[in-house]
Amino acid sequence: MLNEGEEAPDFTLHADDEREVSLSDYQGKRLVLYFYPKDGTPGCTREATEFRDLMKEFEKEDIVILGVSKDSVKSHQKFKQKHDLPFILLSDPEGKVLDLYGVWKEKSLYGRTFMGTERTTFLIDEKRIITKIYRKVKAKGHAQACLLDLKRA
């Protein structure tokens, strides 16, 4: 389990544009690294579109947004196009980065337990230090909370 004040582990995943992207590519930038369960679901769509709607504010602060899920690159491409998302979506089909960041968890729904992605966001500073972790995120208003916390940092 990662904690605030620790270095964010580096990783490399395929992006929605099919290139490989590593966390270390963004050394010197502040990041919003958010993990979400599934492209196109109501909560994930709300979270993504709220980040989209505040993108100009994040850009003014020189903040990069990266979204990560187990969905395929093709799924990310469709999701990104449908909702005009201006940030990078990373594909982690094997769940290696989800495990690395401790967001692949046992969940329950209607009395059934299963493994899934716990909606979690990490704010990361220019030196790759985790400055804030939001666990069990509620999608509505989350992007605004991230922006406010980053402006205060």
Q: What distance in Å separates the CA atoms of residue 6 and residue 65, rounded to the nearest whole number? A: 19
Q: 120 burial class (0-12, 13-18, 19+ CB within 10 angstroms)?
A: buried
pLDDT tier at 110, thresholds 50, 70, 90: confident
Q: What is the pLDDT of residue 117?
A: 95
Tell me what the pLDDT averaged over the chain comes to.
96
What tokens does 153 get? Answer: 């940092």
Inform me whether the pLDDT recorded for 153 exceeds 80.
no
CA separation, residue 2 to residues 68, 88, 103, 118 (Å): 17, 23, 10, 14
Parallel/antiparallel/unpaired status of strands 88-91 and 63-69: parallel
- 92 falls in which pLDDT band (50, 70, 90)? very high
Two tokens, residue 82: 């449908």
What pLDDT score does 152 carry?
Answer: 86
pLDDT at 90 over 80: yes
Q: Where are the alpha helices (DSSP H) in 1-153?
A: 42-53, 55-60, 73-83, 96-100, 142-152
C-alpha–C-alpha distance, residues 149 and 146, integer Å:
5
Which residues are annotated as catalytic? 44
Whether the pLDDT of residue 73 is over 80: the answer is: yes
Domains contained in the chain, CATH given: 12-152 (3.40.30.10)
